[in-house]
Structure 1
Amino acid sequence: MVKKLLNLSYSYPKTIIFLLVALTILVAPILPRLQFDISAQSLMVKSDPDWLSYQKSLLDFGSESAIIVVLSDDQLFSQDKLLLIKNALKKLKQLEFVKGSSSLFNVPNVKEVEGYIETKPFLLEFPQTEKQVNQLIDDALANAMVAGNLVSDDRHTMAINLFIDDTAHYPGRDSEMVGAIKQVLDPLKQELTTVYQMSAPYVREEISRQIQLDQQYILPAALIVLLVVLGISMGRLNCSVVPLTSATISIVMTLSFMAYMEIPVNVLTSIIPALLIIIGSTEDVHLMAEYHSGIRVGLSRDEAVQQLPVNQRLAILLAFITTFMGFLSITVNKLELLREFGWLVAFGLLINFLVTILFVPAYLRLFGGTGIGLTNRKNFFQVFANAVFSVVIRLKKTTLLIMLLIAGFFAWGSQYLQVNNNTLAYFAEDSEIRLRADQIHSSLAGMQTFSIILDSSIEGTFQKVRYLTEIEKIQQYIAEQGVFDKTMSFADFIKLTNQVMEGTSSPELPLDDEVVGVYMEFVQFEAVSSYVNSDYSSARILVRHNIGSSNELKQEFEEIRHFVEHDLRSSLKLVLTGESVLNNNAADAMAMGQIQSLILMIGVILFLVSLLFVDIRAGLIALVPNVFPVIVLFGVMGYFNIPLDSGTTMVAVIALGISVDDTIHFLSRYHFFTRGNYNVEDALRKTIHHEATPITTTSLALALGFSTLMLSSFQPVAYFGALSALVMVLAMFSTFVLTPVLLSFTQLVTVWDMLSLNLKADVLSNSQIFNGLKNFQIKRAILSGTIKHVSSGEVIIDQGLAGKEFYVLLEGSATATHRDPDGSTRTLAELKAGDLFGEVAQLSQRTRMARVTANEKTQLLEMKWESLRRLGRFHPRISMRLYRNLAKILSQRIAEFTDEKDSPHDELTGALTKPFLCELLSQEVKRSRHFSESISLMLLDIDIKPLHDELASDFNDAVVMDTTKLIHQIIQPTDVLARWEKCSFIMLLPKTTSSAAIKLAEKIKITIENAEITRQAKIEINAAVTEVLPADKSQDAIARLEKSLLESRENRKSFRITVA
């Protein structure tokens, strides 16, 4: 598929570019429909069981969250200002989304008047005097439902709580609500010192606004980084134009898709354009690097583009799949915000991948530079990477130990990692929104809330003092903890009412259940509807707080549960609910989703790489260098108190998916260089030289690109950028440190190699060398060597030449022939598919003993003993079987050879036979000529006459054997003794002149004369010596020796040496 698309781009470059540009222009008009919005539900887990509890609490008690309007002034309670506030409140209540309000203008000031309960609002009538103002504020601060909720202790701040209907949320809803309230409040800002609104919709609207502002800085910064890094590192302008163009097309199409599908941009999806620029450039860089590599070795522009599908399709496909799956794995998260982000980035990367493989070849064929000179000079990246490699490959064990210690140190730090899902944490501590939240916390009570629901499912439960006492105890426990700002409940209202009616000094619960019922007869139920349901079977304690840490909040929730279930031993059903609880549960879901995504991503990488290279060790090698940065990442986050939030939760799995891209390119290139290369270190060095520039360039571009996200005003996004940049640098480091060390222990074969290797059935089933191996093992063994093709009549190996290779015939046929000393040629064997040949020369340390010629177009497996040893390191079972089969084959051949008449050794003396001496002499003559060395021959004729006739007839054989032993003791290890006739020998004397040969003959004479055998027989020895001339053939020298020896015999002297 990828190869077809790359070839399509090459074949129709102008059409492809035109269609891509046209499609981009066609969809671009949809972009203005793109909306910016943050949904509250997107930050929660709707499948969470607590979500149903939350929905039920909304039906029973109404919303716990409200828009808080904060009003502050030294003369806040003057009549003029109260009138302005009242008129503004009237306008606020008229807004369609406001369903109710809580303020001093409508909250009842419970009083006893002539034995009746009076529940007039605090500001039903404005105070006329300062005394009345103070009394009003005193009454308000004495009311637990009002103090810290609607009035501050400093008496200069009041709050209006607006309850809204936020169930029908749609994009732009937050902006509408915030804008409408702002329009009402703006006139008050001219009269009061402080006027502002604060709420979840306001926070979300501020996030949306900041997102749009951030895009003004982040996108241009990412583009500039891409242009500068790629332009400088690769030295050409089009190195920046290509990824910039493909990224622009991808961004327009992705955002247009979002606009068409009415998917609003949120705090996470806002970084998709930057991610497409940053991540999408990696494959562009690798394709351009491959193109430039082709140009450097002298290819034309067309040839350089044509090699892209051949050399890069596998790497870019696998790299895309792993990166794609990295983002897709985020979709297993239960948090809607993260799921949506994962789907959209995965979609964008798919678009970018298709654009890249279509646009880059087309652009390079039309506009690719050809002015790159042929040079072997190394750039800085290559020099640095080679220097690192030289150190680590020399110190493998030390390197692995150091990396293990570093990983252990940061793994220990990961235990301090905490989770957080607080939207206020998106903003910096000195931001206006955080300052507002802190001010509300200090003057009133925290704007964040959760509910403690107590339920009995029995009508009238909370009209009984016993159960109201349980509510009171829970509130007292929370107050004693000093963590939360304020609690409010139905018990507070009853206590306040009882204080007014009974005139007690402090609020207390009545003693009798009937009193509670009586009190409620004088009060409208709407006054307490937020804290108890209509049949009094369920009650709510509303808790306000300013805790920003999900981890801290989770601990406090557990403390409350423990108190109620163990200390209080309540029979009531306890439910903690509210947005704080759901956000906290979402934090746990984020952490679990992180684990699930990581496991899924690790599994995908392990499976894909192991499948590709048909070896699980390859998958592990791809994982280790990329898991190492993730371990360091978690350690850094733990040691530096960086929380795992909606932004940073993605870093590990995304970084793993991106950084494995470099590892895959490294593995693919290493596999390419190991084919036919048995030197692992040499293959690794070539791989590093070739991949140093693209890997370093993409890593730096990614790191600096992610760094641009630090310009974001949102802390999670800034952390995401900084941590991702850190991981990219660490991944580059581990690619050049860990990956080469690990690869030095393995050999790679791809599934494409296996599938493309078509073998005949007889090769797989009938070949002796592959006996006992399964088909995939045979293919792996074959791929550890080199497959060669020879044409009909071509000589594969030649007699008399040295060779370290042995061969297996995979397809076709060949003939093995031997050339005898007399020049005649005889056929030794007809070789067919599956046959082994050429193995004896290396094992015996001798030259080739036969010529093998292809009879037809033939396919061969060439293997060196080094490749067999390497196979033993990486696949010992396959290697063991090959060695066993090889031993069996050699044993059979030795047995057959021993039975033949022309055995290499004489049966009686152990000296070489006449034919083998001739063959060896022919080879030695060639060698001596090549090295300009002397070589001599000596022919010894032994005439044996026993002194006693009664000696056995086999006496001559015994004398010949003893004489042979004596000669072997005298000659050098490099000299060769052969039995020529029944009682004659020829000695082959390498690196020996004729004068030295004469001295040797005299030494042999003296040795034989002094030997024991001369006492039982008369022995006459004649010798002929000749030095092989440069123009001689082996037969010429032997003929001279025989002629000279014949002349010596005719002279009948007891010992005569002639020089031929």
Structure 2
Amino acid sequence: MSSSLAALYENAVLAHPRRCLLAMALVVAACAVFMPSFRLDSGSDSLILEDDADLRAYIQIRQTFPDEPFLLVAYQPKHDLFEPATLQALRALVDELEQVDGVEHVNSMLNAPLLLSPPLPITALLRGIPNLEDERVDKTLARKELTESPFYSEQLISRDGETTAIQLVLTKNPPLSEAIIERETLRGSRRSAALSPEESARLSELEERVSTLTAAEAEQQEKMVADIRAVLARHRDAADVYLGGLPMIVADMTAFVRRDLVVFGAGMIAFLALALWIVFRSKRFVFLPLLTCALVVVTMIGLLGLLDKPATVVSSNFISLLLIIGMSMAIHIAVRFDNLKQSGNARTKLKQAVVDVALPCFFCSLTTMVGFGSLVFSGIKPVMDFGLMMTAGIAVAYAFIFLVLAPLLVLTTAETAGSGDETAETEAENPLMLWLAKLTDAHGGLLFIAALVLLGVSVWGTTRLSVENRFIDYFHENTEIHQGMLLIDSKLGGTVPLEIVIDGGEKNYWINPAHRAKLRQAHEYLEQQSAVGKVLSLDATLKVAEEITGSRPLNSFLLGMLKTALPARFKEAVLEPFVDRDFRQVRLVARVVESDPNLKRQELLDGIRNHLINEIGFEADQVRITGMYVLYNNMLQSLFDSQIKTIGVVFLAILMMFLILFRSFPVAIIALVPNVFPVFLVLGIMGLLGIPLDLMTITIAAVSVGIAVDHTIHYVYRFRAEFEIHRDYRATLYRCHGGVGRAMFYTSVTIVAGFMILAASSFRPTIYFGIFTSLAMVTALFAAVTLLPYLLIRLRPFGREHHS
């Protein structure tokens, strides 16, 4: 720290520790008031791009083809599905589910309209359609119809007749839907022209309203999912039952996030306490850093509650990260103090230790903030929010370390007398650091060549990175969500919906038999795709009608009759979701098999579009492929671009920081070199192992560089200071390894072990985040204490040596 800033800091803070602590206590108290407002958000919005043209199209399509949010219960009885006792048990379950708050109505094989059990003339259908519980229905024919119907097979019942689906249609939320539509309209206007002040104010109001309504809906749906599971638990003696559907995935992800926040936050605190005790054997160097880091977390949670910035799946580890980052700064203070306290006044030495590490910690914090801040270039809202959240959190952590921990240490450090060298480091005491110093001294060139080879392999590995991941892979095989998705995929037609809307452009376009023939080709093509399960469209409805009437294809008269004369409930179920009132647009709904090991999202979409346009003959502007599948895939594809942007921005910003800190271009370039290895090593290994980028793993590069660069700054800063004293590069190497090297070692061990705690999560993205960030930290430490000093000794950027 420069002499003027050091004097100001000592006079304002260290000389008056009680005043400073009182002021910071007031800050913590003010923020703590808003802690109850902090919330979690794992809604489907976190899986899509905010500025996505397909999102706008999706919202527009919803106005023509309203979508009913639903949950799906897979019911696999222990006895034959059509036995009277089984049907009675199924009816009891359906009745209970209908009473759950948030469930509007329930669709099941019990109330499915049956047209062929026995076959009825179309005139009879106009008077009312029977279902499975109707006395007129033949159960044998009903089994055949349900398992073979293009509408019911793999939709309400598996082809083998052993598993049935219960569809829980959820209560709609018109205020939220209307707010989203208006918000997207204004966003669209903003992209084409500047909004008026009134429109800008309205957009801000809508953003807040959507956030509030979404949070309320998520809370209500989380309770509803819990209530449904309680009902299902009472029926597990009669059947194996699993819950599925996007609202359940959202609720479970929220539960995983909440558990990770609590469990790993507590586990991290416990581990850090143990690590600090092992390293320093001092109660105050355990309690005071932990207290300070805890206050950082309290303050940040309060600020996030005040600003209504929820944690998401991406940012669920922010508490652990803040604890680790704050603790790393505390360890550097402690080790520097330990190096200096061998002689002299203890309190004076403590103040000197704090001042010595304040500036490198400041630049470390800035570079880490840059690492996280670069995530705003991702274009993915939860990733951007995570970057901003951590950028603010690191600033808070730095402030608390030097405005809370430092004054606390000053107050608890006794005045002790002594004499001796006021600046020199103690000799190396850590055996590993001493060994690494000797290894670098003797074989630095070989290490550098090996590192270049490893870097080349890693860069090649990064070219094999992909974003082809599946929802089901996010969860362990023993979790209900994994087992339920697997059963639904294998028996009931798939999980995530993919929608295709084809616009004929004119009224009654789809009455024309030639056009309906092209629709049938599209439907059959989708059914042939291995990654596609159940496909529903107007064509499925027509196949049922053709079987009833015996007219193949259905003539225009009968189709007109189907359009106008059928009972409303029947049309709502099998007609209106797939064709608009004017027979101008049709909608095909294909459910994607998420458990398909060969699922390639973009390849599937490209293949569908190519076939519809180039093989069947639809015009490009007639076809719109949409749905949550498309929106999620768009987010995944954007990860590649954002990863490149993130890495480039981080390294450029770090180079600028090094230039400001070290005021030397050669030193800045040398310092940058070791930080390249952790990023490319981690990304390269992910590519070679076939581990895809996702919402969490995309942050590893930014997090790794942001934290790992701390080692470089501390080492170069101390190396320069020691070299000015001794003017001997090799001697400075050993002294730095024995001093700041020990702090780097303790910090790395703490960070690595802390991140490895995340490997105990049930959420696989969190596991990968913990493992690969730990690997990056190990690589960063090794590079900082081998390659970095080798380059400093070899290139001699601090001038000539002076030997006595």
Q: TM-score, normalised by structure 1?
A: 0.66
Count, aligned residues = 745
Structure-2 residue corresponding to 1:533? 580
Structure-2 residue corresponding to 1:240? 286
Which one of 243, 246, 256 corresponds to residue 200 of structure 1? 246
Which one of 66, 69, 88 corresponds to residue 62 of structure 1? 66
CA distance in 2, matches of 1:709, 1:206: 18
SS in structure 1 of the partner of residue 406 of structure 2: helix
Percent identical pairs in the alignment equals: 22
Q: Is 1:288 aligned with 2:334? A: yes
The 8 Å contact of residues 426 and 714 in structure 1, kept in 2 or not, is answered as yes
The 8 Å contact of residues 340 and 353 in structure 2, kept in 1 or not, is answered as no
CA RMSD of aligned residues (A): 3.1
Q: Is 1:104 aligned with 2:109? A: yes
Structure-2 change in CA distance of 1:225 and 1:528 (3 Å): same
CA distance in 1, matches of 2:153, 2:417: 78
Structure-2 change in CA distance of 1:7 and 1:352 (3 Å): farther
CA distance in 2, matches of 1:80, 1:722: 51
The offset of 1:121, in angstroms, is 8.0
The offset of 1:354, in angstroms, is 0.6
Structure-2 change in CA distance of 1:408 and 1:372 (3 Å): farther
Which one of 225, 231, 234 corresponds to residue 178 of structure 1? 225
CA distance in 2, matches of 1:576, 1:79: 43
The offset of 1:148, in angstroms, is 0.5
In structure 2, give the amino acid aligned to 1:364: L
The offset of 1:650, in angstroms, is 0.8
SS in structure 2 of the partner of residue 169 of structure 1: helix
The 8 Å contact of residues 285 and 698 in structure 1, kept in 2 or not, is answered as yes
Q: Is 1:258 aligned with 2:290? A: no
Structure-1 residue corresponding to 2:145? 139
Structure-2 residue corresponding to 1:479? 527
Structure-1 residue corresponding to 2:770? 721
CA distance in 2, matches of 1:866, 1:349: 38
SS in structure 1 of the partner of residue 341 of structure 2: helix
Structure-1 residue corresponding to 2:591? 544
Structure-2 change in CA distance of 1:115 and 1:290 (3 Å): closer
SS in structure 1 of the partner of residue 786 of structure 2: helix
The 8 Å contact of residues 344 and 417 in structure 2, kept in 1 or not, is answered as no
CA distance in 2, matches of 1:372, 1:387: 34
SS in structure 2 of the partner of residue 163 of structure 1: strand
Structure-2 change in CA distance of 1:448 and 1:635 (3 Å): same
Higher RCO (CA-CA < 8 Å; seq separation 6+): 2
In structure 2, give the amino acid aligned to 1:509: P
The 8 Å contact of residues 613 and 748 in structure 1, kept in 2 or not, is answered as no
State how 1:273-312 maps to structure 2 within 5 Å.
273-296=319-342, 298-308=343-353, 310-312=355-357
The offset of 1:158, in angstroms, is 1.9
SS in structure 1 of the partner of residue 589 of structure 2: strand
CA distance in 1, matches of 2:285, 2:598: 45
The 8 Å contact of residues 145 and 492 in structure 1, kept in 2 or not, is answered as yes
The 8 Å contact of residues 150 and 540 in structure 2, kept in 1 or not, is answered as yes
Q: Is 1:47 aligned with 2:55? A: no
In structure 1, give the amino acid aligned to 2:563: M
CA deviations on 1:261-318 (whole Å, 9 max, x unpaired) are 344443333322211111211111112222222212x221232133246522321110
CA distance in 1, matches of 2:627, 2:124: 33
CA distance in 1, matches of 2:667, 2:599: 39
Structure-2 change in CA distance of 1:369 and 1:745 (3 Å): farther
Give the greater-gyration-radius structure (CA).
1
In structure 1, give the amino acid aligned to 2:564: E
The offset of 1:103, in angstroms, is 3.2
Q: Is 1:740 aligned with 2:786? A: no
The offset of 1:550, in angstroms, is 10
SS in structure 1 of the partner of residue 153 of structure 2: coil
The offset of 1:540, in angstroms, is 1.3
Which one of 154, 157, 163 corresponds to residue 151 of structure 1? 157
The offset of 1:64, in angstroms, is 6.8
Deviates more, 1:486-495 or 1:615-624: 615-624
State how 1:388-427 maps to structure 2 within 5 Å.
388-420=436-468, 422-427=470-475
CA deviations on 1:744-792 (whole Å, 9 max, x unpaired) are 344557xxxxxxxxxxxxxxxxxxxxxxxxxxxxxxxxxx6xxxxxxxx
Structure-2 residue corresponding to 1:460? 508
SS in structure 2 of the partner of residue 162 of structure 1: strand
Structure-1 residue corresponding to 2:131? 124
CA deviations on 1:834-893 (whole Å, 9 max, x unpaired) are xxxxxxxxxxxxxxxxxxxxxxxxxxxxxxx868x9xxxxxxxxxxxxxxxxxxxxxxxx
The 8 Å contact of residues 531 and 598 in structure 2, kept in 1 or not, is answered as no
Structure-2 change in CA distance of 1:300 and 1:575 (3 Å): same
State how 1:550-629 maps to structure 2 within 5 Å.
552-571=600-619, 573-629=622-678
Q: Is 1:516 aligned with 2:523? A: no
Structure 1 consecutive aligned stretches of length 4 or more whose deviation exceeds 6 Å: 119-122, 369-377
In structure 1, give the amino acid aligned to 2:256: Q
Q: Which has the higher helix share?
A: 2
The offset of 1:65, in angstroms, is 5.3
The offset of 1:80, in angstroms, is 6.1
CA distance in 2, matches of 1:99, 1:748: 73
CA deviations on 1:981-1035 (whole Å, 9 max, x unpaired) are xxxxxxxxxxxxxxxxxxxxxxxxxxxxxxxxxxxxxxxxxxxxxxxxxxxxxxx
Deviates more, 1:161-170 or 1:269-278: 161-170
Structure-2 change in CA distance of 1:199 and 1:866 (3 Å): closer
Deviates more, 1:655-664 or 1:407-416: 407-416
Q: Is 1:337 aligned with 2:382? A: yes
The 8 Å contact of residues 33 and 260 in structure 1, kept in 2 or not, is answered as yes
Structure-1 residue corresponding to 2:365? 320
In structure 2, give the amino acid aligned to 1:520: K
The offset of 1:441, in angstroms, is 1.6
CA distance in 2, matches of 1:866, 1:72: 80
Structure-2 residue corresponding to 1:222? 268
Q: Is 1:668 aligned with 2:717? A: yes
In structure 1, give the amino acid aligned to 2:113: P
Structure-2 residue corresponding to 1:779? none
The offset of 1:346, in angstroms, is 1.9
CA distance in 2, matches of 1:149, 1:613: 66
CA distance in 1, matches of 2:801, 2:234: 89
CA distance in 2, matches of 1:640, 1:330: 24
Q: Which runs of 5+ in 2 are unaligned?
A: 178-212
CA deviations on 1:187-213 (whole Å, 9 max, x unpaired) are 5556x4234432211122122223333
The offset of 1:128, in angstroms, is 5.5
CA distance in 2, matches of 1:358, 1:180: 48
The offset of 1:10, in angstroms, is 0.6
Structure-2 change in CA distance of 1:236 and 1:366 (3 Å): same
In structure 2, give the amino acid aligned to 1:543: A
SS in structure 2 of the partner of residue 36 of structure 1: coil
CA distance in 1, matches of 2:243, 2:481: 10
SS in structure 2 of the partner of residue 644 of structure 1: coil
CA distance in 2, matches of 1:365, 1:256: 28
Structure-2 change in CA distance of 1:421 and 1:13 (3 Å): farther
The offset of 1:591, in angstroms, is 2.9
Q: Which has the higher strand share?
A: 1
The offset of 1:623, in angstroms, is 2.2
Q: Is 1:356 aligned with 2:401? A: yes
CA distance in 1, matches of 2:371, 2:244: 38
Q: TM-score, normalised by structure 2?
A: 0.86
Structure-1 residue corresponding to 2:490? 442
The 8 Å contact of residues 429 and 435 in structure 1, kept in 2 or not, is answered as yes
CA deviations on 1:646-705 (whole Å, 9 max, x unpaired) are 221111110100000110011111221233654333333333332111111111111111
CA distance in 2, matches of 1:598, 1:122: 62
State how 1:891-970 maps to structure 2 within 5 Å.
none
